[in-house]
Structure 1
Amino acid sequence: MKIDLWLVFVAVSLLPAISPGPGVMLAISNTLRFGRNATLASAAGNAVGLVVIGYAVALGFGALMATSALAFTVLKFVGAAYLIYLGLKILWDKSSFQIHDTVPAKRKKPVKLFLEALLVSVTNPKAILVITALFPQFMQAEGFSLLETTILSFTYALLCFANHAVIAFAGDHMRRFLTSANRIRWVRRVTGGLFVGFGAALASASR
């Protein structure tokens, strides 16, 4: 792939990479609840999921999603159910955003955070459809090209990882905001509600 074409791809990919969505909300939630390292673990899971989607789209999964109502419906309801589950879990857990001495009190294993973000990523039809629409515009080879698919997939995944990393390193500033019980309560409600809202929107989405 020519460097000038790759630079155009990077420029075009920036907006979808940083736009709010389930992955970004998960990064913010993990930053506030568990800290920087937890968010970096989930960011890695999200990035791996995007690479998987990139290869799957290049191999024809994107076309299947675009043409098969059953495949799209199954995937969107799996993703929607998981997002709603995450939202309700935050809403029910009143200690979700409690901060003690600027260090999160509760911990999750990095592997669990990684897998959680990976599942959110690969079951998000929005990500699949964005990649399906974006990648073919920058692929010059006929049919499947391992090199082009690798470049595009890893580039897009790294852009998303960088966005989540910025959120992770801004965690100290965000946690300073959570100095009152009232703020914690509202952040928990808004975050949980957004996850439920994303899940409901995904469940009602059409191709």
Structure 2
Amino acid sequence: MGLTEYLTFLLIALVATASPGPAVLLAVTNAVTLGMRRTLVAILGNVAGIVLLAALSSIGLGALIHTSEAVFQLVKWVGGLYLIYLGIRLWRSGLGRLPVGEVAVAARSPAQLFFQAFMVAVSNPKAIAFCTALFPQFIEPTAAMLPQFALLAGTFGLLSFTFLLSYALMASRCRGWLHNSSWGVRFNRITGGLFVGFGSLLLTTER
């Protein structure tokens, strides 16, 4: 892979990772409700999921989901319902007017937060389709696979981490204000509604 091809990949990856979606919403919500230390764990979980998708796509397994209607539908429903579940949990947490610092989306321990973000990454059929379409285009089949995969997946993972962390840091500045106002409840309801919206849109996704 030459410099031109890598720069093309870098540009596409920049746009993809900077665009808001479920992963960004989760990072923002965790930053406001749980603080940056736990949010960092969740971000690492999301990046791990992205790298796994990249690995599956690079070796061709992602094509199974891209071409099999049954597998695509299964992943779509799992991903959509999981996002709706997170949204309902967050919406309900706002009904009791709990302090923001005591509210989590659906998990509290670092392991749960990591797994939650990992699931948001790997259960999104759009992300799977994107990785399936993107990564094989930039891998030279006659060259060694591992160095190419390490470069592409490492770049994509680093960009994902950087943008998620940036969104989370910006959101964390509002944490104290939300903690001491009724806007904390409104925040939970708004973000919960957005999760339900993302999940509902995912359920209507067609190829």
* TM score, norm. by length of structure 1: 0.89
The answer to whether the aligner puts 1:46 opposite 2:46 as a matched pair is yes
User: What is aligned with 2:163?
Assistant: 163
Q: Is the 8 A contact 1:97 1:188 kept in 2?
A: no
Match of 1:205 in 2: 205
Contact 1:39/1:164 (CA < 8 Å) preserved in 2? no
Matches within 5 A, 1:85-164: 85-94=85-94, 98-99=99-100, 104-105=101-102, 108-142=108-142, 145-164=145-164
Name the aligned partner's letter for residue 192 of structure 2: G
Residues 17-45 of structure 1: CA deviation (Å, up to 9, x unaligned): 01111111110110011000111101100
Report the counterpart of residue 63 of structure 2 in structure 1.
63
Distance 1:133 1:161, change over 3 A: same
Greater mean alpha carbon deviation, residues 46-55 or residues 1-10: 1-10
Aligned counterpart, 2:191: 191
CA distance in 2, matches of 1:69, 1:166: 36
Which deviates the most, 81-90 or 129-138?
Answer: 129-138
Give SS of 2:140's match: coil
Q: What is the CA deviation profile of residues 60-105 of structure 1, one whole-angstrom value per residue up to 9, with x for unaligned ones?
A: 2221112100010001111111111100000111258734xxxx24
Which one-letter code corresponds to 1:49 in the other structure? G
Does the 8 A contact of 2:51 with 2:153 survive in 1? yes
Where structure 1 has 5 or more consecutive residues not aligned to the other structure, the ranges are none
Residues 90 and 96 in structure 1, CA contact (< 8 A), matched pair in contact too: no
> Percentage identity across aligned positions?
37
User: CA deviation digits over 1:106-161, x for unaligned, max 9?
Assistant: 57211110011011111111111111222123222249822212221121111111
Measure the CA separation in 2 of the matches of 1:68 and 1:29. Answer: 34
RMSD: 2.0
Matches within 5 A, 1:2-21: 2-21=2-21
Distance 1:149 1:50 in 2: 13
Secondary structure of the structure 1 residue equivalent to 2:91: helix
Aligned in 2, Cα 1:69/1:63: closer, same or farther, shift over 3 Å? same
> If the length of structure 2 is used for normalisation, what is the TM-score?
0.89
Match for 1:41: what amino acid?
A: V
Q: Give the secondary structure class of the aligned counterpart of 1:170.
A: helix
In 1: Cα distance, 2:24 partner to 2:10 partner: 19
**Aligned pair in 2 of structure 1 residues 144, 206: CA closer, same or farther (>3 Å)?**
farther
- 1:137, 1:12 → 2: CA distance? 12
Tell me if structure 1 keeps the 8 A contact 2:93–2:103.
no
Instruction: Write the mapping of 1:164-179 to structure 2, written as runs, cut at 5 A.
Output: 164-178=164-178, 179=180
Q: How many residues align?
A: 202
Counterpart of 1:124 in structure 2: which amino acid?
N
Q: Quote how far apart the aligned CAs of 1:175 are.
A: 1.5
Given that 1:40 and 1:164 are in contact with CA atoms closer than 8 Å, whether structure 2 keeps it comes out as no
C-alpha spacing 1:97/1:51, structure 2 compared with 1 (3 Å): farther
Secondary structure at the aligned position of 1:141 is classed as coil
